[in-house]
Structure 1
């Protein structure tokens, strides 16, 4: 379904799929690889990779309970805008050649057999082989990424973070985004930190930009993505998403000032 859609429609569809899939960034990456390998456009798969950890039902439910429906709904709208917009931009750049060669090889193999002639046993066999190949190539990167996250999981110097995010200066939002990159958590794990920071007087938009950075631009995610993407493509992905997160942080601070 996704492979047959125009990029704009595909981006919106897969970003909406991300809302109902409670994956963190590390667990979304194997599915990201599967989508790319199946021939789904690269920009569309990036929309899923962004939306799944950032705008899932767990994050929205907790935001609704802790901060109210207005903030939860606004976060949903901005998060989807980042996922759809960033994926669309990456798709328009036509950067498929910046995938790692082994991913391109799997992707090329998907066109060998017409879909109409594939039986269910063929599909099961192909799926089993794809799982074996993908897991065999990235399992140690996933463990490395989780290990990096484990080293800093639960470590959030709230007083220091609140002092940075409570500053009424332009650089507080960029500082919050940069602070979130080395940390790792899923949405459920970071929202209690968000609530604590807001309780200490941190600006709402700045804190939510921090949350988006932790869930979407974390160092463990980049470690795993390096097995799939070239450094050039990782830089493009991180840059486009960072611009979107910064815009959301500034807009939130403006709207909820």
Structure 2
């Protein structure tokens, strides 16, 4: 478990970068990191670089994963299942398909237009922007993996429950007609 903590500290929390920025602030800028000014400059430089590195790596990883889950493939996978299994699978697919809410709405329209049940599409729609790889890795880097995994589990449960409720209440009649008739 110590190796996992070490890797988390070095790769996600980037302790090596913090020490490098500490060296920069104390030796180049000649500021004590314990003072407000030195601590603020250290925090700003460290966080800007850390977030830039994490987001760059995450965007690359998300783009790579997204190449394996285009909307058509996701639609085919979801079309094979029904009921609670379909809701769970839709929520899980929503987590690995890195679509933000901007692209989830057109996917939702495409899924409903393709004949997928409204509850299944809502499970996907809820989990897709809520639980994504970027948020999980950022949560793990800021807090720890227990918090990040808890976030994923709660997000998946909310997505499955939300889709299940929508299925049970038969709320299809409240979806605008253009959603079903969209080419």
Aligned residues: 136
Offset, 1:127: 6.9
User: Is the 1:217–1:238 contact (alpha carbons within 8 Å) kept by the matching residues of 2?
Assistant: yes
Q: How does 1:174-213 map to 2 (within 5 A)?
A: 174-213=88-127
Larger radius of gyration: 2
Offset, 1:162: 4.5
Structure 1: gaps spanning 5 or more residues? 1-99, 103-122
User: TM-score, with normalisation over the residues of structure 1?
Assistant: 0.46
| CA distance in structure 1 between the aligned counterparts of 2:163 and 2:135, rounded to whole angstroms | 21
> Taking structure 1 as reference, are residues 246 and 190 closer, same or farther at Cα in structure 2, changes over 3 Å only?
same
| CA distance in structure 2 between the aligned counterparts of 1:161 and 1:173, rounded to whole angstroms | 12
User: TM-score, with normalisation over the residues of structure 2?
Assistant: 0.63
Offset, 1:220: 2.9
Structure 2: gaps spanning 5 or more residues? 1-12, 16-35, 173-183
**Residue aligning to 1:155:** 70
**Residue aligning to 1:113:** none
User: Is the 1:138–1:227 contact (alpha carbons within 8 Å) kept by the matching residues of 2?
Assistant: no
User: Is the 2:123–2:162 contact (alpha carbons within 8 Å) kept by the matching residues of 1?
Assistant: yes
Structure 1 residue corresponding to 2:49, chosen from 100, 122, 136: 136
User: Is the 1:162–1:201 contact (alpha carbons within 8 Å) kept by the matching residues of 2?
Assistant: no
Offset, 1:101: 11
Instruction: Kindly report the root-mean-square deviation, in angstroms, between the aligned alpha carbons of the 2 structures.
Output: 2.8
| CA distance in structure 1 between the aligned counterparts of 2:126 and 2:51, rounded to whole angstroms | 25
User: Is the 1:206–1:249 contact (alpha carbons within 8 Å) kept by the matching residues of 2?
Assistant: yes
Greater helix fraction, Structure 1 or Structure 2: 2
User: Is the 1:173–1:206 contact (alpha carbons within 8 Å) kept by the matching residues of 2?
Assistant: yes
> Taking structure 1 as reference, are residues 192 and 133 closer, same or farther at Cα in structure 2, changes over 3 Å only?
same
Offset, 1:161: 3.7
